[in-house]
Structure 1
Amino acid sequence: MLLMKENVADRSPLPAQTTVVPAGTAGSIAVRRGQLLRIEALEEGAVASLFGFSDADPMIHLSVHHTRVFSNSYVLGSGMRLVNNRRRPVMVLGKDSIGKHDLLLPASTTAYLRSKGYDGIGCVEALQAELQRLGRQQPKLPDPVNLFMHVELARDGSITPQPNRVKAGDKITCRVVQDMLFVVSTCCTGVEGNDRPAAVALSVAEDLDSFVAQP
């Protein structure tokens, strides 16, 4: 039910496509309204920091803050609508093999990682580099949805990272309801237990049967 095909009468079906995002980088994929977006871990321990930007208006973006308020939850679960900074739905989470995602923590920066003794660039700088490669100007860089990262929020307000249990082949699939550019960073998060960069694949298809299997 969650991934039912939308009636999109203003375009012809589009071919499936896949973008592999190597560990420690950022990659992007364009998704049209009504298509499915799948994000799949290609290696153990992957974290995919997901950003989304509207094709119609550069001021509109996927907003983790508004999603928490809209859903009254800091836990991302099947059927949950992820919304933009105008509180309009962007996508609906359907199939999810891991069920552990973070809606609380910001993206890492290179300076933060250096202060913690990590090498490599941060998620923010990787995002900026990918947007620059695309020739895309974004007036604001929002916080990400950290897919495959699990943290717990205690009664006293403390945030405790939990061990990453992601295996190669774990994936989520969402129905996208706006034309969007999605960018995923696979850089080090600097979060204990979730700090191992690992590759992911971004795939787009019209329906579940059209996804191309990963090698």
Structure 2
Amino acid sequence: MSAQAAPGEGRVTGVPEVIDIPPATGRAVTLAAGDVLRVIDVEGSQVADLVVYAASAPHEGFSQGFTRLLLDRVDVRPGDSLLTAAGEPLLTLVGDTVGVHDILFPPCNRMMYERVFGIPGKTGCREHLTEALAPHGIGFDRVTDPFNVFMNTRIGDDKRMTILLPTSRAGDYVDLRADQDVIVAVSACAADANDCNAGELTGIRLEVTRGKGAS
């Protein structure tokens, strides 16, 4: 499939289109309303950072903060939508074999690796997602609020955010249905300096089922 195809272009209802994302890279895909994106942890314990934008208005993207506000909690469950700052739904979670994901942390990035871990020059999900989104005119400044699929986090009694080992196993997945035409980018998270990906970077697979009512 062409990751740059327009929403609805070349649609074959019911036959999944597969995109494999190698470790520490990102890919973008366009979805039409009703399409379903499956994000699969291929080998287990691998986080996928997902960002999403309205195709008709790419400046309108997923907002972690307003999604938390309107859900009144810090997790996303089946039936919940990823929302813009205006409260508009972009993707709705319709299937989930794990139930452990994050909407607290920004994407890992070059600045974080240098300041927090003392690793200069290492790129992260923010850079990899930006590269994938470049053909769609979405720049680095817009890649700030991911849905961190399979990422296991906690807020402790001391109010500090903690990253824990993932609980996802090989073959685990989430299904996200597009509520409108959207641009989605997903990265196989590059974090290997903490427990985010259990210390080993592996790949993520995307499967896209085209057509209204796909599930």
Where does residue 84 of structure 1 map in the other structure?
Answer: 84
Conserved? CA contact 2:164–2:195, under 8 Å = yes
Count of residues in correspondence between the two structures: 200
- Name the SS of the counterpart of 2:61 in structure 1: coil
Pick from 194, 202, 205 the counterpart of residue 201 of structure 1. 205
**What is aligned with 1:6?**
none
Instruction: Identify the residue that residue 64 of structure 1 maps to in structure 2.
Output: 64
Deviation at 1:70, TM superposition (A): 1.2
Q: What secondary structure sits across from 2:130 in the alignment? A: helix
CA distance in 2, matches of 1:96, 1:157: 28
Structure 2 counterpart SS, 1:183: strand
Cα displacement (A) at 1:30 = 1.1
1:91-149 per-position Cα deviation (integer Å, ceiling 9, x unaligned): 211211111101101111123224415574211111221122x2523462232111100
In structure 1, distance between residues paired with 2:147 and 2:186: 9
Aligned counterparts of 2:136 and 2:63: Cα–Cα separation in 1: 22
Cα pair 2:126 2:144 within 8 Å, conserved: no
Which runs of 5 or more residues in structure 2 are unaligned? 1-7
What is the percent sequence identity of the aligned residues? Answer: 24
SS of 2:111's partner is: helix
TM-score of the superposed pair, with normalisation by structure 1? 0.83
SS at match of 1:126: helix
Q: Is residue 105 of structure 2 the alignment partner of residue 101 of structure 1?
A: no
Alpha-carbon separation, structure 2, partners of 1:90 and 1:191: 32
Structure 1 CA distance, aligned partners of 2:22 and 2:31?
20
Corresponding residue number in structure 2 for 1:8: none
Q: How far did 1:61 drift? A: 0.7
2:126 to 113, 121, 124: 124
Moved over 6 A (4+): none
CA RMSD of aligned residues (A): 2.6
Change (3 A) 1:210 1:74: closer
Q: Which amino acid aligns with 1:95?
A: G
Q: 1:12 to 1:137 in 2, by over 3 A?
A: closer
One-letter amino acid of the structure 1 residue matched with residue 172 of structure 2? D
Counterpart position of 2:137 = 136
User: What per-residue deviation string (whole Å, max 9, x for no partner) do you get for residues 40-62 of structure 1?
Assistant: 01122210000011110121111
